[in-house]
Amino acid sequence: MVHYLDDHDVVRLSTYSLRSPEMALIPDNLNDAESKKFEQEFEEYQKKLAAQRETWAKENPEKV
């Protein structure tokens, strides 16, 4: 019996990590201040990206 694979079938899946399995169980040492700083930077980036999207949409209405 022959099994044919479609082009979307996964034959092998490999994953890699730079951390050992033991280190993956230990949470990162981010304090609350650092965490809030990263969250704030991400929110600012999201707002900037949304503004750029709106500007582009206004300048290119035929492509929207």
Q: What proportion of the chain, given as a percentage, has pLDDT over 70?
A: 81
Q: What pLDDT shows up at residue 4? A: 56
Residue 57 has pLDDT above 80, yes or no: yes
Higher pLDDT: 17 or 33? It is 33
Q: What pLDDT shows up at residue 48? A: 97
> 14 CB contacts (<8 Å, ≥6 apart)?
none
Q: What pTM was estimated for this model as a whole?
A: 0.50
The answer to whether 39 and 31 are in contact (CB under 8 A) is no
